[in-house]
Structure 1
Amino acid sequence: MYFGDYKNFPDVTLNPKLLWEFNLSDFDYNEMRDLVVQRVIERGWPKDWYFILNKYGVAGVKLAIKNLAYLNDKDMSFVSHQFNIPLTSMKCYEKKQSVNLHWNS
């Protein structure tokens, strides 16, 4: 895993700009895990990855990835490869496959 050394960065914080629309003083990071993971996948820097891996653990991040309703193809392939998650077990992949495209309908 590319971020396998995340335990070396236990005090790293999440960039608050990733959650710009929320009041972070009362933000529940556990309840909003899937959203936080999605924002880090889409827009995060390495320190943001270290934050979610320390906060939720590898298993928690993998579970959140599997539950995400949308990721673009590049991000989907990246997390599939990095976390050894088959594309077919990701909700966003299944949802994408079930959508009829204009030229395929």
Structure 2
Amino acid sequence: MLDNLSDRLFWDVDPKSLDWEKDISLIISRVLERGTLQEWRTIEQRYGLNKIVSVAKEIRSLDLLAINFLAQISGTPITEFRCYNTKQLNQKHWTY
């Protein structure tokens, strides 16, 4: 059970079945992209900034705002995030 995290973050899964450790990537990505400041503080307290950044570096898809937020508060170069490099390689055609 994920105390202090809203069920709205996990609309596509049963929130009661989530585990803090087993589902760490899902939890971190959902809070970064759709969570409130209070939910951010919850995961920061639970995992610590270093662990969040470490996990986020391996996530394949995060929005640019979330990547920039983590890069700024942790002092991590944005190019170290897998999702940033993937987006750079898969740019859309300029007419889209």
Q: TM-score range by the shorter chain?
A: 0.7 to 0.9
Work out the CA distance in 2 between the residues paired with 1:100 and 1:17: 30
Q: RMSD over aligned Cα, in angstroms?
A: 1.7
- 1:46 correspondence with 2:37: yes
Distance (whole Å) between structure 2 residues aligned to residue 24 and residue 99 of structure 1: 32
Q: 2:17 aligns with which of 26, 47, 52?
A: 26
Distance (whole Å) between structure 1 residues aligned to residue 65 and residue 16 of structure 2: 33
Mark the runs of 5 or more structure 1 residues left unpaired by the alignment.
Answer: 1-11
CA deviation map 1:4-59 (0-9, x unaligned): xxxxxxxx711121112222223112111111111111111111011111221222
Indicate the residue corresponding to 1:99 in structure 2: 90
The structure with higher relative contact order (CA 8 Å, sep 6+) is 1
- Correspondent of 2:27 among 30, 33, 36: 36
1:79 aligns with 2:78: no
Ranges of 4+ aligned residues in structure 1 off by more than 6 Å = none
Letter in 2 for 1:51: T
> Does 67-76 or 45-54 show the bigger shift?
67-76
* 1:100 to partner: Cα distance: 4.5
Quick one: which of 20, 45, 55 aligns to 2:46? 55
Give the counterpart letter for 2:28 in structure 1. Answer: V
How far apart are the structure 2 equivalents of 1:58 and 1:100? 29
Normalised by the length of structure 2, the TM-score is: 0.82
5+ unaligned residues in a row in structure 2: which ranges? none
Between Structure 1 and Structure 2, whose CA radius of gyration is higher?
A: 1
* Identity between Structure 1 and Structure 2 (%): 27
Aligned residue pairs, count: 92
Aligned match for 2:6, one of 15, 21, 33: 15
Q: State the TM-score, normalizing by the size of structure 1.
A: 0.76
